[in-house]
Structure 1
């Protein structure tokens, strides 16, 4: 099973698209700015090209891990040490029977949702507690990442 770097890149890119919509002032942008203490002046003061570039890199890192979560066949590959050429015949038989099982957008989105809800949201929520941020901040930021993980998971899982 090979890593589909194009799928990972497109999944990573999707976070920027979701962010442009999610953090638009007509959606959640105004709430996020208020709850995070962000101002127009602070936004204009940064290097946005650098911000988007590093954001894309981080999203690529996330997509790399999400592929292991959303594509079950990576688990079978892990069971044989990552090298199918040294696997027993049972691995080949398994892959012949189940090599494309559960490789749908919907299945990847489900795993993305679960990962976002049970991994990302608690991390963001815990940070928000210690940073004395509001529950609205947690919901807006956590919701963003849950949606991103769903879309990323769907893209990665469905793209064969």
Structure 2
């Protein structure tokens, strides 16, 4: 099993694209700023080059790990220790039979959304509770990650 680095890069970039729309003032941007206690001065005071570069790097890390949640074939790949040349013939037979099973955009989107609900939401929610943020803050940020991980999962799983 080979990693599709173009799909991983595209998935990482998609996180920034979704964020561009999601946090736009005409969508959830103004509500997010209020819920996050952000001001125009805080927004303008940040190093946007650094912020976007790190956001892209973090999105790539998410995309890299998300492939293990969306592509079930990585489980078989991990069982052979990552080197197909040393695998028993049964591995190749399995991959011949099931190498593209459930490798669709739809299936990847499902697993991405599930990751958003069962991983991102609890993490964001827990942090927000201790930071004394509102439910609106939790739902705006978690909603972004649920949608984003769904799109990222679709790209990673469906792009062969």
TM-score, shorter chain, exceeding 0.5: yes
Deviation of the 1:37 alpha carbon? 0.4
Pairing 1:95–2:134 present: no
2:110 match: 110
2:134 match: 134
1:148 match: 148
Unpaired runs of 5+ in structure 1? none
Deviation of the 1:115 alpha carbon? 0.7
Unpaired runs of 5+ in structure 2? none
Deviation of the 1:80 alpha carbon? 1.0
Deviation of the 1:141 alpha carbon? 0.2
2:43 match: 43
CA distance in structure 2 between the aligned counterparts of 1:79 and 1:114, rounded to whole angstroms: 24
Pairing 1:71–2:71 present: yes
CA distance in structure 1 between the aligned counterparts of 2:3 and 2:96, rounded to whole angstroms: 18
CA distance in structure 2 between the aligned counterparts of 1:120 and 1:16, rounded to whole angstroms: 17
CA distance in structure 2 between the aligned counterparts of 1:20 and 1:39, rounded to whole angstroms: 18
CA distance in structure 1 between the aligned counterparts of 2:77 and 2:5, rounded to whole angstroms: 18
CA distance in structure 1 between the aligned counterparts of 2:73 and 2:45, rounded to whole angstroms: 45
Deviation of the 1:58 alpha carbon? 0.2
Tell me the TM-score normalized by structure 2: 0.99
- Could you say what secondary structure the match of 1:27 adopts? helix
CA distance in structure 2 between the aligned counterparts of 1:39 and 1:7, rounded to whole angstroms: 35
Deviation of the 1:89 alpha carbon? 1.0
